[in-house]
Copies of this chain bind each other. A is one copy, B any other.
Amino acid sequence: MSDTHHHHKCPPRSKSTLFDLEEKLRMGSKRLTGGRLKLLRFLNTQDHPLTIKEIFSAMDSGEMDLVTVYRSMSMLEGMGLVKRYDFGDAVARFELTGEGQHDHHHHLICIRCDTVVEIEECFPPDLENAISRQNGFTAVTHKLEFFGVCPKCQ
């Protein structure tokens, strides 16, 4: 390891169990339909944010309507069960939210082949604090994604 500097790094996130997810759904007084269950099961196996179409395609042979995927993802996002990401190509991507407060992470995306690497590092929080304070903003968050050329595409 040639890294002498250690950046702010969250502990590895753990996926929610499907049970947790179902529990949360019920708590939100949402119904646990067959489609949503299948959707959650699938998302639970994925490591990277997926587009609506990718999720739709994974629901074998169009068993679920595209519109339903859109609606489901919006609902899950509203409940905080999934997080929406923008990779700059005007297509929304969704990823199951990890457990607890340790879900915050970013991505490194290859601009040639779209390979995605999950990045745990982030900049130290005092940068955000300073920006918040200096501008009088509250509840400041950030979106941060990295882009580059992966080893295979170089």
Q: Which residues of A contact B (CB under 8 A)?
A: 2-3, 5, 7, 84, 86, 88, 90, 92, 108, 110, 117, 119, 121, 123-124, 126-128, 130-151, 154
Q: List residues of chain B with CB within 8 A of the CB of A135.
A: 108, 117, 150-151
Query: Does A144 contact B141, Cβ atoms closer than 8 Å?
Result: no
Instruction: Find chain B residues with CB under 8 A from A145 CB.
Output: 142-143
Among candidates B3, B5, B127, B148, residue contacting A7 with C-beta atoms closer than 8 Å:
B127
A131-B119, A142-B145 known; A90+B90 contact, CB < 8 A? yes
The reply to whether A131 and B147 form a contact with Cβ atoms under 8 Å apart is no
Inside 8 A of A90's CB, which chain B residues have their CB?
86, 90, 92
* CA distance in complex: A130, B7 (Å): 9
Q: Using Cβ atoms and an 8 Å threshold, which residues of chain B touch A86?
A: 86, 88, 90
13 contacts between A and B (CB under 8 A): A3-B134, A84-B88, A86-B86, A108-B135, A117-B135, A121-B127, A123-B124, A128-B146, A131-B146, A139-B149, A142-B144, A143-B144, A143-B147
A150 to chain B, nearest CB (A): 6
The answer to whether B131 touches A121, judged by C-beta atoms less than 8 angstroms apart, is yes
| A152 closest partner in B (C-beta) | B136
Contact A138 B143 (CB under 8 A): no
Shortest Cβ gap from A154 to chain B (Å)? 6
6 shortest interchain CB distances as A-B pairs: A123-B123, A140-B148, A137-B148, A136-B151, A144-B144, A142-B146
